[in-house]
Amino acid sequence: MHTIPDFMTAQHRHCDDSFIAAESAVSAKKWPEADSQWAIFTTDLEIHLQQEETILFPAFEQATGMTMGPTQVMRAEHAQMRQLVAEMTQQLSVQNKDLFLGLSETLMILMQQHNMKEEQMLYPMTQAHLPDADAVLQQVKAYS
């Protein structure tokens, strides 16, 4: 976990774990378990998104001068994810299994294609372009 790509990618995988645990629990109608796993997922996801929006992306923008480029698209996709998460929280609260699973399938693909772009391109580029990548990584780790 000594580089930005390694640390951030591990966070993606960590979020995946609680996401699929919640999805499986909903599928089996184990609502209390679904609630607790969903709470873990939404908290971890929000922290991860904020780490990117408040530390990583500004550092990338400052280092490259690209303020309206890839980071802007990533921010827009974060908004799309947050909107889906809010809808899923609503469906979980009324224990609507079918709607929750329809939305979870959608969020899964939306989230994974977003992760692909970050893991394949944005994180390696951030690591390569930041003059103080280690210091930025420490800031990200300290954020919670």
Partner 1 sequence: MNLAGLDFDNIPPFSVPMRFFFVAPVFAFISALIIAVAGESMWLTRWHPATLAVTHAIVLGVISMIMCGAILQLLPVLAGKSLPKVKLISTLTVILMAAGTLSLIRAFLANMLVLGLDSSNSNFFFAVSGISFTLGLGGFICAILWLIRQRSQASVSINTMRLGFIAMLVVGIIASLLLAGYLFASQFNITKQLTDSHASWGLIGWISLVIIGVSFQVLPMFHVAPAFPRWCSRYLPGFLFITLLIYTLMTLVITQLTVIDSIVIESIVDSAVWQFIQTICIGLLQLSLMVYAVTAMHCLYRRKRKISDASVTCWFIALTCLFLCCAISLVMSLVMSLDMGLMNNSVTSVEALLFNLGWSPLTLASIFIYGWILSVIMAMIIKIVPFLAYLHLQRQCGFHLQAFALLPNMHELLSKSRMQYLLYSHVFSLFALCMTLYSPQNYWLLSLAIIGQFGYLLFLMIKVSSRYRHITSAIDEALLS
Residues that bind partner 1 (CB under 8 A): 5, 16-17, 20, 23-24, 27, 64, 66, 69-70, 72-74, 79-80, 83, 98-99, 101-103, 105-106, 108-110, 112-113, 115-117, 119-121, 124-125, 128-129
The minimum distance between CB 10 and partner 1, in angstroms, equals 12
Angle (nearest 5°) at CA 122 between 22 and 71: 85
Could you give the CA distance from residue 74 to residue 76 in angstroms, rounded to a whole number?
5
Q: Which is nearer to partner 1, 110 or 143 (CB)?
A: 110
**Token reading at 61:** 């923008």
The minimum distance between CB 43 and partner 1, in angstroms, equals 19
The minimum distance between CB 140 and partner 1, in angstroms, equals 19
Q: Residue 85: what residue type?
A: V
Q: Which is nearer to partner 1, 125 or 140 (CB)?
A: 125
Taking CA atoms, 7 is separated from 67, 98, 106, 123, 126, in Å, by 23, 34, 25, 10, 13
